[in-house]
Structure 1
Amino acid sequence: MPVIEQSQYDFPSIMNRNRHFSTIYAAMIKRFPTPEYEREKLELIDGDFINIDFLINDPKKAVILCHGLEGDSRRTYNNSCADYFQNKGFSVFAWNNRTCGGEMNRLPRLYHHGAVDDLDAVVQNVLQRGFEEVYMIGYSMGGVQLLNYFGWLKMDERIKAGVCISAPTHIATSAEVLKQGFNKVYLKNFTIDIVKKLKYKAEQFPDFINKDQIDKISSFDEVDQYFTAPLHGFASREEYYQRVSPEFSLQNITTPVLIINALDDPFLGERCYPKTIVQDSSYVYLETPKYGGHCAFPLRNSVHSYAETRAYEFFNSSSDYQYFT
């Protein structure tokens, strides 16, 4: 029964017990310097590319960081996490989904929650460098990509464990929650950024992307129905949500993975806390702190977050399952 009933994250400051304050501070106000990365342009088999930022420390042990929706390798949460694991001796690889990281990709394809082929290209690149232990951390959409990767593909034995932070394991529920109350502010910010990219793509590929439909976007309903689904081979928005929601593949995971989803996360719906499914798994662990917001989890008197320290702890103990239950 790998549901962690008592989270160690119990005592954030009074201000950080407000879900929106924690979320907005972590995303918009907090700053963390970008590590001194090297960057590699990784060519993909379909003729496109993605960019990977990396730091080499331990030649045998690496962590791969997966960013969230409309994020990139150099978002504050990624910078903080990279710094934490670099200080622990890990080599760090922070990758950018197509269209992310400051350089537009070549093809009409964008990115989505089920883009495990691109994530696998990153993983194979890291493994080919000779690393013997590879760990993975995903934030929000990146956490969904990680869970789908673990649930859909057979894992190389060198991939030891993963941690997913603020991961919407049921996409349709999360999309609905973002239409409610103050959450509309987050939705608006996402759609503004997505619309900019779609307009750019419409100029590049007018035969693939209908400019008139871009003006109809008011939520993820339109984004996913008009663009995400058809551009990536899904019959409809509903099929897309069904196929890329990790809720439906968690039972297939056989590599230790920890999901840390705060109960006050404004991005997560009720089906994003899959306790019933996790209780029947020997590999998927679910921790649901009362507080933490979305990709926040601030700690008192620390520049790093609870999510980073907890990920490191999980990686060090992932072979000892009883420790977590």
Structure 2
Amino acid sequence: MPLVENITYTRPKWLFNGHLETIYPSLFRKVVAPNPVKERISTSDGDFLDLDWYRQNKSKLVIISHGLEGSSTRAYMLGMVNKFLKEGYDVLTWNFRSCSNEMNKQVIFYHSGATYDLDLVVKHSYGSYEEINLVGFSLGGNLTLKYLGEKGNSLPKIHKGVAISVPLHLASSSKKISETSNTLYSQRFLRSLKKKVLDKSAVHPGQIPLEMMKNIKTLADFDDLFTGPLHGFADAEEYYEVNSSLYFLDQVKVPSLVLNALNDPFLSDKCFPKTLAKSLDMVYFEFPNHGGHVGFSPATHEKTYYSEQRAVEFISTVI
């Protein structure tokens, strides 16, 4: 499928680089959404997932997955909620393990390829819906695409998918975010992740090697010593290789959009596979020059965020 070429996104003039486009909406965007109906569902291993439902008795549902150390209440999540509610969809957002207001029960947390939890959420939501669509941001985008690739044609109600600011290739993107220019982001993530490990260790003493904490300087170190081994992978290298959605794109059987900004400070060159785009039947790639990471702020206050506009357009339009 050719690259999407009719890109109409124009960033605000005062957000003149990818870092500003990333930071500003993350820190200053405020979104008011309806109060959701909250639900807790049990996993097969004795854990739980917290869901937020926005129902208006529609026949079509959108399930939205957040990014690394995000949650269902982040502004980018609520902005997408409001957009799809306005367009006549029911919406479901969910929190990865440890990302709601209560620590999960098992030693494991969540990770970029934990599609077993997304599968549980999707199957739990089937109900009377005629159509289910998946939207994912960043890590949640990787999770979404990997899931669609794994499932192929086995989920007949799944209609379309959208992945925004997605690290298609995890290993090279991990190196990218650890560059000096990205220290602000990587250290913020590390502080949050390290705190979770400490909190988790207090509940599961002796099961987490806290003595290794002093060796963690980068996100790759964290994945090598904690994320990988805790979730059954030998190290970060195996974790990244097994879970990179780039390797599942040729198995995706429903129309899916990848929206990655070329100036995204988190994404490596391998997250813009222009040659691969020509060989895929179901995956559309759109690479605007600007947008930052989970940014895509409107040029004026009256306009919708471009990522929300494109998600609705793609899911609503007959291809």
Question: Which band: TM-score by shorter chain?
Answer: over 0.9
Moved more, 44-53 or 12-21: 12-21
SS of residue in 2 equivalent to 1:65: strand
- Residue 305 in 1 paired to residue 298 in 2? no
State the superposition RMSD in angstroms.
Answer: 1.2
Aligned to 2:200: 201
- Residue 118 in 1 paired to residue 117 in 2? yes
Moved more, 280-289 or 202-211: 202-211
Does the 8 Å CA contact 2:64/2:77 hold for their aligned counterparts? yes
Match of 2:2, as an amino acid?
P
Equivalent position to 1:147, from 145, 148, 162: 145
**1:286-301 superposed matches below 5 A:** 286-299=285-298, 300-301=300-301
Taking a change above 3 Å as real, the CA distance of residues 303 and 94 of structure 1, as seen in their structure-2 partners, is: farther
SS of residue in 1 equivalent to 2:197: helix
- What do residues 234-276 of structure 1 show as CA deviations (whole Å, max 9, x unaligned)? 1221111101111111111111100000000000011011222
Match of 2:79, as an amino acid?
S
**In structure 1, what is the Cα distance between the partners aligned to 2:247 and 2:134?**
21
SS of residue in 2 equivalent to 1:3: coil
**1:166-245 superposed matches below 5 A:** 166-245=165-244
SS of residue in 2 equivalent to 1:249: helix
**In structure 2, what is the Cα distance between the partners aligned to 1:202 and 1:177?**
29
Deviation, structure 1 residue 176 = 0.7
Deviation, structure 1 residue 182 = 2.5
Aligned to 1:323: none
Structure 2 stretches lacking a partner, 5+ long: none
**In structure 1, what is the Cα distance between the partners aligned to 2:314 and 2:2?**
13
**1:47-126 superposed matches below 5 A:** 47-126=46-125
- What do residues 126-172 of structure 1 show as CA deviations (whole Å, max 9, x unaligned)? 11x21111111100000000000011123411110011000000011
**In structure 1, what is the Cα distance between the partners aligned to 2:276 and 2:207?**
39
Aligned to 1:316: 316
Does the 8 Å CA contact 1:34/1:74 hold for their aligned counterparts? no
Match of 1:47, as an amino acid?
G
Does the 8 Å CA contact 1:17/1:292 hold for their aligned counterparts? no
Match of 2:144, as an amino acid?
L
Match of 2:305, as an amino acid?
S
**In structure 1, what is the Cα distance between the partners aligned to 2:161 and 2:309?**
13
Q: Number of paired residues?
A: 317
**In structure 2, what is the Cα distance between the partners aligned to 1:40 and 1:219?**
35
Aligned to 1:135: 133
Deviation, structure 1 residue 34 = 4.1
Does the 8 Å CA contact 2:58/2:88 hold for their aligned counterparts? no
Does the 8 Å CA contact 2:108/2:230 hold for their aligned counterparts? yes
Structure 1 stretches lacking a partner, 5+ long: 321-325
SS of residue in 2 equivalent to 1:4: coil
